């Protein structure tokens, strides 16, 4: 049933590494035309695109700091120009920035977390809307939340967790606003996934402590998330699903 993905045009933000890279490659593997986006990991983004092209797929590479509204909008417009339109927007870009207790949060840090994890989703989705409206009922937006949105996050990540809770609820609101245009909006909420995110922000001890709370007794991989993104992009598979956020966490959090 995933044959309906062939030819769909997708922008995956933050797709130079981790979950975004895995999703971009999986989309291309199903015949989707993909824009790989990066902020600073140029070599990694080019490597993802090269792998896609070597397998016979289509990939374009674009740079932007999506925490900046103007750059987020420009990215969407350039992606649509490269692809001749847009059918799928994956708002994957985001980061904890750094572990910071509430008592130490300053305005600059607050803005950096909220701009990256919230503003980017709002502004990219707003910019994508005119293109998605022209998709003929095939369009979807997929927002990346986090298990932290459900449990408040680990040490020093309360602000990040709250920004992801914002995204979780924004997904519901966007779904209601976009449904008259034939656009589905859903979310994916990963648990502990071994990506550069945890390599950067979590110690080996913290990761092991989190692993022990997972019923499947292992942390996840980017590939563990791919199936959900394929499912949510496919009108045949998920055409009657909108406003939902799917948990991918090995049973660590159960709705």
Residues labelled catalytic: 160
Torsion angle, alpha carbons of 94, 97, 102, 104, to 10: -160
The candidate with the shortest Cα–Cα distance to 63, out of 101, 113, 11, is 11
- Measured CA to CA, the distance from residue 84 to residue 204 in angstroms comes to 44
CA angle centred on 21, ends 91 and 78, rounded to 5° = 55
- Measured CA to CA, the distance from residue 108 to residue 96 in angstroms comes to 14
For tokens 């369009």, what's the residue?
139
Dihedral (CA of 245, 206, 43, 225) sign: negative
DSSP string, 91-156: E------S---GGG--HHHHHHHHIIIIIHHHHHHHHHHHHHGGGSS--EEEEE--THHHH--STT
Angle between the N-to-C axes of helices 158-178 and 107-114, in degrees from 0 to 180, rounded to the nearest 10:
40
**What is the CB-side half-sphere exposure of residue 67 using CA atoms within 13 A?**
17
For tokens 């040490």, what's the residue?
155
- Measured CA to CA, the distance from residue 254 to residue 170 in angstroms comes to 21
């Amino acid at each position: 049933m995933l044959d309906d993905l062939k030819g769909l045009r997708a922008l995956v933000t933050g797709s130079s590494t981790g979950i975004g890279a895995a999703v971009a490659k999986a989309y291309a593997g199903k015949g989707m035309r993909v824009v790989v986006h990066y902020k600073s990991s140029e070599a990694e983004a080019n490597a993802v695109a090269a792998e896609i092209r070597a397998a016979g797929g289509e990939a374009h590479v674009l740079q932007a700091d999506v925490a900046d509204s103007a750059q987020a909008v420009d990215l969407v417009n350039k992606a649509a120009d490269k692809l001749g339109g847009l059918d799928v927007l994956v708002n994957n870009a985001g980061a904890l920035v750094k572990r910071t207790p509430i008592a130490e949060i300053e305005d600059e840090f607050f803005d950096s977390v909220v701009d990256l994890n919230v503003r980017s989703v709002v502004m990219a989705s707003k910019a994508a809307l005119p293109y998605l409206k022209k998709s003929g009922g095939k369009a979807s937006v997929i927002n990346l939340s986090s298990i932290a949105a459900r449990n408040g996050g680990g040490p020093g990540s309360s602000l990040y967790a709250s920004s992801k809770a914002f995204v979780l609820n924004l997904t519901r609101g966007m779904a209601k606003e976009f449904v008259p245009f034939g656009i589905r909006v859903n979310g994916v909420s990963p648990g502990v996934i071994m990506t550069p995110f945890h390599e950067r922000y979590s110690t080996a001890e913290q990761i092991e402590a989190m692993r022990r709370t997972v019923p499947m007794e292992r942390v996840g991989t980017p590939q563990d998330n791919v199936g959900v993104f394929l499912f949510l992009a496919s009108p045949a598979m998920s055409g009657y699903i909108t406003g939902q956020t799917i948990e991918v966490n090995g049973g660590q959090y159960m709705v």
